[in-house]
Every structure is written in C-alpha cells, then in structure tokens.
C-alpha cells in the first residue's frame, strides 16, 4: 500500500475524495515497492518512467554525499548505472523516482496509463498525492522481480490499493479532528465514546465545515515497512497463541508509517502514524475483507495520552452504561 508519486512539475488537479478503512477486493501478496533490495526477488487488513522526478534536488536529499576527491575536475560524471540505489529513491516515499509508463516486454494485456489523484493533500505543494497508473504498477512489480503477477489483475490491484489508502487517510483525519485542538477538547469528545464521535461528525463537525477553525492535516511523507512488526502486532500475535478463539494469530500483511503535518492553533506539528493491514475472513460471496489498525506512534507522551483517551473513553462509556442512561434521558 501507499504507492504515491510526486511529479517535479506541480499540477493544480483537484482531488477526488473517497474513503473507507477496509476493502472488499484483493491486492497482491505484499507490497513490492516497499522492498529495499536492489535485485529482483519473486512475489495482498493498510508506478513510471514518465515525468515523475524527485522533487528534492540531489544535494538536498538525505542520501546525498559530497565527493571525497579533492580535485572534482578529475572525477568522471556520475552515470545512472554508477549511482547507488539509495540515491535513486525519492526521500518522500522511499521509492524509485521514475517507473516507466511504457508497455513491458512480453506484455499481452493493455493497461491504462492514467493516474488517479488521491484525496490526500501533500505538505510541500498545494496539490494532492497521485497514485500510480496500472501500467506503472505492473512495471514496478516487474522491476522488483514479481514476474508472476497476472496482467489482467493489475487494474483490480490498483483499485484496491487506492481504496485502502483512502480509508487509511480517512481514519487519520478523524484522529486529527479529535486532537488537533488539544488534549482538553480531545477528551471532551473521547469521554462519550466512539458512537458519539461518529454522531458529532454527522452533525457537521467534519473537515471543511463552518465549525472547523483548524486547517486539515497534510501528508508529508510515508514509508512501507512490511518486514517490521509493530509492538502492538507482536502483542496481538502472542495473545492469539494463548487465546486463539478470541485473538487473531495471523500477522498483518503490511505495515506503513505515515508522517502527517498536524495543524494546531499554535502552529504546525509533525505526527507519525502507524498502520497495520490485516486480512479478515472473506464475505459469504467470497470477496476478501481487510482491516486497518491506525493510530499515532508512541513517539511522545502526548501520542500515548491520545491513544489512551480514545481507547479508555470508549471502554468507560460502554462499561459504565452511559449510553443506556443517555438514551433513557432522551
């Protein structure tokens, strides 16, 4: 998941919003563009040698290293073949900065080259992140060695991929609506449980409403870490081994870290969100189901308090019978 691309030339194309934190379709097993190996390797609950260029100059990149030679004149110019793998990655998403839109050798199915604009705003320019086209996705998979990818399934993979990322962003925006104005106002919402948070949103307390006096969040960068289990995922796996009837024993099939620019009354603040993607039991019709576990990373005491407030507030609201008492008063 999370295959966004940043073009070097900003575009003013408006976003096409859509969201949900679970999906009914099936992505490919694993997220090949998140693999860090440089040689091909064979290959789904949360891309392009067209003009997609890294928006950061090479000298500004965190991977840039100045030449060691004291006489730069004697150094031959670097060629694409001589550059390291890290220097070819876009630091905003740790992916190759350019993947071809051209038809792959031995490709027998025509794949669209149109790219969908996400509803996820970028922090560096006034536009939204773009998803890869099906042709870019297929070329990216081939580049990483996933040569067994069914060509006729790539369009469905892209649709599921985009849908899951829209769902992830939708949940992040919900977190930001609750806590961007501070812990006091966050607790005022959390203490009445998740059901009332949803009701408040339906009443108009959503992004873009007249009551919203803080700008919506923006995605700074992201990183896929499919081989690294989060502490929470490890705990859930251990509980699944002890209580298999109650807890899931299968690990998440993917993991992301999304770095979000929170807009607060006192200024901007960077927040790291962690996303675990799980597969759920399929629907009776056979359609697969996915679950996204999204929460702020425990990088600061504030993030820990936010998670405790949202979880504890909902548990207390239901356990104390507050919901029933409120219904009786109404």
- By the 10 Å C-beta count (0-12 exposed, 13-18 middle, 19+ buried), 24 is classed as middle
Higher per-residue confidence, 11 vs 328: 328
| Non-local CB neighbours of 241 within 8 Å, separated by 6+ positions | 249
The partner residues of 277 in beta bridges, in order of sequence, read: 254, 292
Confidence class of residue 1 from pLDDT cuts 50, 70 and 90?
A: low
Q: Percent of the chain at pLDDT above 70?
A: 65
pLDDT at 93: 47
Contact 273, 175 (CB under 8 A): yes
> Among residues 171, 176, 178, which one has the least CA distance to residue 192?
178
Residue 32 has pLDDT above 80, yes or no: no
Domain ranges for the chain:
108-328
What whole-number percentage of the chain has pLDDT above 90? 38
Query: What local confidence, expressed as pLDDT, does residue 267 receive?
Result: 87
The reported pLDDT for the residue numbered 293 is 94
pTM value > 0.85: no
User: What is the tens place of the pLDDT at every residue in 96-137?
Assistant: 456 788 899 889 999 999 999 999 999 888 999 999 999 999
Is pLDDT of 24 > 70? no
């Amino acid at each position: 998941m999370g295959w966004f691309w940043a073009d070097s030339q900003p575009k003013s194309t408006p976003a096409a919003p859509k969201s949900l934190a679970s999906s009914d379709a099936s992505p490919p097993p694993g997220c090949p563009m998140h693999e860090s190996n440089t040689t091909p390797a064979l290959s789904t609950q949360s891309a392009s040698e067209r003009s997609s260029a890294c928006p950061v100059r090479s000298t500004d990149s965190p991977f840039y290293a100045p030449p060691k030679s004291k006489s730069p004149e004697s150094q031959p110019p670097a060629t694409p073949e001589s550059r390291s793998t890290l220097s070819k990655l876009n630091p905003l998403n740790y992916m190759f900065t350019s993947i071809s839109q051209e038809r792959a050798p031995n490709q027998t199915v025509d794949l669209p080259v149109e790219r969908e604009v996400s509803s996820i705003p970028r922090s560096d320019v006034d536009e939204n992140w773009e998803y890869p086209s099906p042709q870019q996705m297929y070329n990216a998979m081939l580049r990483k060695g996933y040569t067994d990818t069914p060509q006729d399934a790539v369009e469905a993979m892209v649709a599921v991929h985009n849908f899951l990322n829209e769902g992830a962003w939708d949940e992040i925006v919900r977190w930001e609506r609750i806590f961007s104005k501070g812990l006091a106002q966050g607790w005022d919402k959390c203490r009445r449980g998740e059901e009332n948070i949803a009701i408040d949103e339906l009443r108009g307390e959503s992004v873009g409403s007249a009551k919203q006096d803080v700008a919506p969040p923006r995605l700074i960068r992201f990183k896929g870490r499919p081989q690294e289990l989060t502490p929470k995922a490890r705990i859930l796996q251990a509980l699944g081994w002890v209580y298999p009837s109650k807890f899931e024993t299968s690990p998440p099939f993917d993991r992301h870290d999304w770095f979000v620019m929170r807009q607060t009354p006192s200024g901007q603040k960077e927040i790291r969100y962690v996303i675990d993607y799980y597969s759920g039991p399929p629907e009776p019709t056979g359609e697969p189901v996915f679950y996204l576990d999204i929460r702020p990373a425990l990088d600061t005491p504030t993030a820990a308090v936010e998670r405790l407030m949202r979880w504890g507030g909902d548990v207390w609201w239901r356990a104390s019978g507050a919901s029933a008492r409120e219904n009786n008063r109404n």
